[in-house]
A and B are shown apart, each in its own frame.
Chain A
């Protein structure tokens, strides 16, 4: 949650900077729309602030992932809930990634890439991320080893 809050705070600061830039420099450019755009931006800033306050705990409470022998299921979302299913058979690549904020908090994301898209398991503790990646690599390795006696793939 902390990582999400920091992430959102950075974006919110950028949004605030854009707001002040518009208020300071865009009066002549916007002409009669200056006040209207100003009120619109304040409204967007207020809504965003509410979302930022509420979203991380909801995201955290709803976030679920499950790895079985044949599939990866990820369910997440704040307003829009998404359910992603990735068959282990289709996994091409497993990657552990850490941005600067996650680095500070000892967190990592595991990104699972298939030939036609990707899915992420986000905000895992580094040890857990390593375990997840190892498990996935084991499952993929086992699947490929089972295929070795057969003729080579197309």
Chain B
């Protein structure tokens, strides 16, 4: 048995992870214990907590010293010989991806995390194995495993700088961070900011309510944007053979690769702000890319970029998902359903606002020269107008299209999304008709796919039931005729 010393692992030889993993795992414990000592630091308690910390370190040391990894010809075996013995066998044939990411501690210790994901709907959000090795060892193992997973591409090329089709500047990354966040989230965030400013203005000082609102603005708006900018910093994407490679990250760096055959659907997204800037981004539904660190599991194939560059990248990276068939608008019946929905929403809103409107009117009617007594009715009327406008836009932009290999849904009155799917990746098809939709002779479809979080569904607008049923029928025809090749699509 050997420790991880930086030399590439030999086949079948059991090796241990890098010893720095003991520090990594113990660190979270020391933070918790330090907080406890600061809060309850009297009497014998600090000594007890210190002993507890030593126990945690010893426990992690024992876990590390008794855990071995073997890279065999056909599988990877992770074995832990502690009180709770485990032996995990991960066959190469079932692996979806092998990726590397490096956090701050990894950089301090010169290590990298090798993350192995298998093709599984259950537990898709967590990698099956996370192994810390010295950076060189991790890179070597990954290159060797990538060759097994992705076929005959020369692994040595991976280190050579590939020329990406589209380059992303730091400005692109910042624009993506700021404007790829959903419009609803942005509105919500800025509402908190406005309320906070309003409170500051009223109280002429930093009060509790203003501070909470400001904090909410940071949580809802600023933090996701900063997280996205940090996540996609230095973003680079390219395709070699049938494998797509992604590299990005500021604090934690990511090197991710996956076979094109693992992509189940491609989403072209345009938030309202992005549309105003003439930009769009591409995301892919890929299973087996979990990093276990809570970030978005849906890899971006293109950050917010001008539409022409986005289209060029789509054609170069995933020509298999370029939909060139015709698209149809929703039938006239859909207009009726959408109008009924808008009417019900408007009625419920108006009903809910009656009592508060009267209360505000009574409280503020005595104030001279102000519109405050009528603020709520005006606001309600404005929201009702927005509901009807969104209904009109939704009817206009929702589309559905099918061709021999692909089908597509276009949705979203505010944040627009075009999803292109391959029939061979469809797991189940669900068609739903509510009472109003039945009256107008339309239905909605939901297609279930394997996704990065296990399962995901993509919904359509309102179309004739027979048109939506054609998706399922085409899936069945492709299976029956042999067009569907289970070897390429097996999960």
Q: Which residues from chain A sit less than 8 Å from chain B, CB to CB? A: 33, 36, 70-71, 79-87, 89-90, 92, 114-119, 147, 150-154
B residues 57-77 near A (Cβ < 8 Å) are: none
| Chain A residues with CB below 8 A from B430, complex form | 82-85, 117
**Interface residues as binary, B389-433 with A (CB distance below 8 Å gives 1, 0 otherwise):** 000000000000000000000000000000000000011111111
B259 CB, min distance to chain A CBs, angstroms: 8
Contact A115 B479 (CB under 8 A): no
Contact B93 A152 (CB under 8 A): yes
> Which of A82, A86, A117 counts the most B-chain CB atoms under 10 A from its CB?
A117
A7 CB, min distance to chain B CBs, angstroms: 22
A147-B486 CB under 8 A given contacts A82-B432, A83-B430 = yes
Chain B interface bracket (under 10, 10 to 19, 20 to 34, 35 or more): 35 or more
Which residue on A lies nearest to B262, using beta carbons?
A: A154
A81–B484 Cα distance when bound, in Å, is 30
Number of interchain pairs (Cβ within 8 Å): 92
B424 CB, min distance to chain A CBs, angstroms: 10
Contact A80 B435 (CB under 8 A): yes
Contact B435 A154 (CB under 8 A): no
Contact A154 B479 (CB under 8 A): no
A87–B473 Cα distance when bound, in Å, is 10
Contact A87 B93 (CB under 8 A): no
| Chain A residues with CB below 8 A from B480, complex form | 70
A26–B435 Cα distance when bound, in Å, is 36
A137–B485 Cα distance when bound, in Å, is 21
Q: List 14 A-B contacts (CB under 8 A).
A: A82-B432, A83-B430, A83-B431, A85-B428, A85-B472, A87-B476, A89-B486, A115-B287, A116-B448, A116-B450, A116-B456, A118-B428, A150-B487, A154-B488
Which residue on B lies nearest to A114, using beta carbons?
A: B427
In the complex, whether B227 has a CB less than 8 A from a CB of chain A is: no
| Chain B residues with CB below 8 A from A86, complex form | 427-428
Contact B476 A153 (CB under 8 A): no
> Which of B287, B434, B469 counts the most A-chain CB atoms under 10 A from its CB?
B434
In the complex, whether B240 has a CB less than 8 A from a CB of chain A is: no
Contact A116 B449 (CB under 8 A): yes
A114–B449 Cα distance when bound, in Å, is 9
B472 CB, min distance to chain A CBs, angstroms: 4
Contact A80 B434 (CB under 8 A): yes
Q: What are the 9 A-B residue pairs with the smallest beta carbon separation, nearest first? A: A116-B427, A117-B448, A153-B490, A85-B472, A114-B427, A116-B448, A116-B455, A115-B450, A115-B121
Contact B428 A70 (CB under 8 A): no
Which residue on B lies nearest to A79, using beta carbons?
A: B435
A70-B479 CB under 8 A given contacts A80-B432, A114-B448, A116-B456 = yes
| Chain A residues with CB below 8 A from B472, complex form | 85
Which residue on A lies nearest to B448, using beta carbons?
A: A117
Which residue on B lies nearest to A33, using beta carbons?
A: B355
A118–B488 Cα distance when bound, in Å, is 22
A70–B476 Cα distance when bound, in Å, is 8
Contact A80 B486 (CB under 8 A): no
A31 CB, min distance to chain B CBs, angstroms: 11
A84 CB, min distance to chain B CBs, angstroms: 5
A85–B433 Cα distance when bound, in Å, is 15
A154 CB, min distance to chain B CBs, angstroms: 5
B residues 436-454 near A (Cβ < 8 Å) are: 438, 448-451, 454
A2–B377 Cα distance when bound, in Å, is 49
Contact A81 B432 (CB under 8 A): yes
New contact pairs (19) apart from A115-B287, A117-B430, CB-CB < 8 Å: A71-B476, A79-B434, A80-B433, A80-B434, A82-B430, A82-B431, A82-B432, A84-B428, A85-B469, A87-B476, A90-B427, A115-B450, A116-B428, A116-B450, A116-B451, A116-B457, A117-B457, A150-B487, A154-B488
Contact B428 A119 (CB under 8 A): yes
B223 CB, min distance to chain A CBs, angstroms: 31
A85–B476 Cα distance when bound, in Å, is 10
| Chain B residues with CB below 8 A from A117, complex form | 427-428, 430, 448, 455, 457
A83 CB, min distance to chain B CBs, angstroms: 4
Q: Among B427, B429, B469, B486, which residue has its beta carbon within 8 angstroms of that of A115?
A: B427
In the complex, whether B261 has a CB less than 8 A from a CB of chain A is: yes
Q: Among A36, A71, A89, A92, which residue has its beta carbon within 8 angstroms of that of B484?
A: A89
| Chain B residues with CB below 8 A from A81, complex form | 432-433, 438
A114–B469 Cα distance when bound, in Å, is 19
A28–B310 Cα distance when bound, in Å, is 58
In the complex, whether B491 has a CB less than 8 A from a CB of chain A is: yes
| Chain A residues with CB below 8 A from B121, complex form | 92, 114-116
A55–B438 Cα distance when bound, in Å, is 18
B residues 201-256 near A (Cβ < 8 Å) are: none
A83–B430 Cα distance when bound, in Å, is 6
| Chain B residues with CB below 8 A from A115, complex form | 121, 287, 427, 450, 455, 491
> Which of A90, A118, A154 counts the most B-chain CB atoms under 10 A from its CB?
A154
B residues 81-99 near A (Cβ < 8 Å) are: 93
In the complex, whether B289 has a CB less than 8 A from a CB of chain A is: no
Contact A89 B479 (CB under 8 A): yes
In the complex, whether B475 has a CB less than 8 A from a CB of chain A is: yes
Contact B355 A36 (CB under 8 A): yes
| Chain A residues with CB below 8 A from B465, complex form | 83
Which residue on A lies nearest to B93, using beta carbons?
A: A152
Q: Among A36, A87, A154, which residue has its beta carbon within 8 angstroms of that of B490?
A: A154
A117–B453 Cα distance when bound, in Å, is 12
| Chain A residues with CB below 8 A from B469, complex form | 83, 85
A19–B272 Cα distance when bound, in Å, is 43
